[in-house]
Amino acid sequence: MTQPFIAMQDLARRFPAPDGGSTTVFEQFWLGIERGEFVCIIGHSGCGKTTVLNILAGLDQSSAGAILMEGKPVDGPSLDRAVVFQSHALMPWMSVEENVAFAVSSRWPKLKHAEALKHAHKYIAMVGLAGAEKKKPAQLSGGMKQRVGIARALSIEPKMLLMDEPFSALDALTRGTLQDEVLRIRAGSDLTVFMITHDVDEAILLADRIVLMTNGPNARVAEVLVNTLPKDRQRETLHEQPDYYPIRNHLLDFLVRRSKNFVPPAGYDPRKPPHVTAGKAGGIVDAAD
């Protein structure tokens, strides 16, 4: 078995409980991500999605297990893995271009300021904010701020993009345009993306695979849904795809019913969570290897 691009092996996160024992948020978390893949993770609040992402980002430590990226252990933050934060996390005292250039010159410290700005402008234009370079974040709308957050993450040309519910604070219309933006930017690049979302449609539109987590505590990966919709799917025509509703119903059914009292099916192996499809070709498919 060849090593995937990202290998999350037996991750667990435990907190000391008041009674002296410990509370396990999630455990036995195994997941491999291939280069260029877009993986979404869905689950209810408290299942540890954000913790998984933070451990992958290097911002948090796992209580057990390890993550390998290209065979090398992940033991801290890295410029190879850029994070788009839920709350955009722009520095309010810096203008748009300074925010992005700050990331650029962190990546390439030898770059002159003017060159860093030029590089930053390229990515600001990429997210459709050309002309707003000199503005301060406070002058931007929520959607524009998150665009800057995406530009900042992309500007360091990472191998992997980590997004923690990046659009959850936005209104539906803005969210839609930003999802299109992400689709457009990712087409023609082999960027690997790991994204947390609460939005089922967002996951169906963007993800190649959708990881379903049971409720915490003691959360785990219940199964991984393989998205069988065509690669060139569009937001406008998503609902016309024959597999769309079966996939959507499968996800909702999991979130509403099965996530609460998930019973591992016969032969369930946390090392290889079952990969399933919904729709015409519904059923359990073989694990990713």
Coil vs helix vs strand at 251: helix
Residue count of the chain: 289
CB of 85 within 8 A of CB of 164?
yes
79 contributes a contact to another protein by CB under 8 A: yes
Q: Of the listed pieces 8-16, 28-36, 77-85, 113-121, which binds another protein according to CB under 8 A?
A: 77-85
Q: Sign of the CA dihedral 194, 198, 203, 206?
A: negative
Residue 17 interacting with another protein (CB under 8 A): no
Q: Which of 146, 160, 161, 156 is nearest to 101 (CA)?
A: 156
Q: Is 233 in the site for another protein (CB under 8 A)?
A: no
Contact 250, 259 (CB under 8 A): no
Selected range binding another protein among 22-30, 90-98, 126-134, 219-227, rule: CB under 8 A = 90-98
Dihedral angle over CA of 16, 18, 22, 25, nearest 10: -80
Whether the CB-CB separation of 124 and 183 falls below 8 Å is answered with: no
* 83 makes contact with another protein (CB under 8 A): yes
Q: By CB under 8 A, is residue 138 in contact with another protein?
A: yes
The minimum distance between CB 138 and another protein, in angstroms, equals 4
Phi and psi torsions of 129, nearest 5°: -115, 20
The distance of closest approach from Cβ of residue 76 to another protein in the complex, given in angstroms and rounded to an integer, is 8
Among 11, 39, 41, 103, binds another protein (CB under 8 A): 103
Looking at the Cβ atoms of 170 and 255, the one nearer to another protein is: 170
Spatial distance between the Cα atoms of 190 and 164, rounded to a whole number of angstroms: 20
Q: What share of the chain is helix, strand, coil (3-state, %, to 5)?
A: 30, 25, 45
Is 85 one of the binding residues for another protein (CB under 8 A)? Answer: yes
Contact flag: residue 87 with another protein (CB under 8 A): yes
Stretch that binds another protein, among 42-50, 84-92, 260-268, 273-281 (CB under 8 A): 84-92
Q: Identify residues 36-65 at the interface with another protein (CB under 8 A).
A: 57-59
Residue from the set 6, 40, 74, 82 that interacts with another protein by CB under 8 A: 82
Interface stretch with another protein, choices 10-18, 41-49, 132-140, 210-218 (CB under 8 A): 132-140
| Interaction between residue 127 and another protein (CB under 8 A) | no
CA 142 to chain centre: 19
Residues 154-213 that bind another protein (CB under 8 A): 156
67 torsion bin: left (phi>0), alpha (psi -120 to 50), beta (else): beta
CB of 165 to another protein, least distance (A): 13
Q: Site residues (CB under 8 A) for another protein? A: 57-59, 77-79, 81-83, 85, 87, 89, 91-94, 102-103, 106-107, 136-138, 156
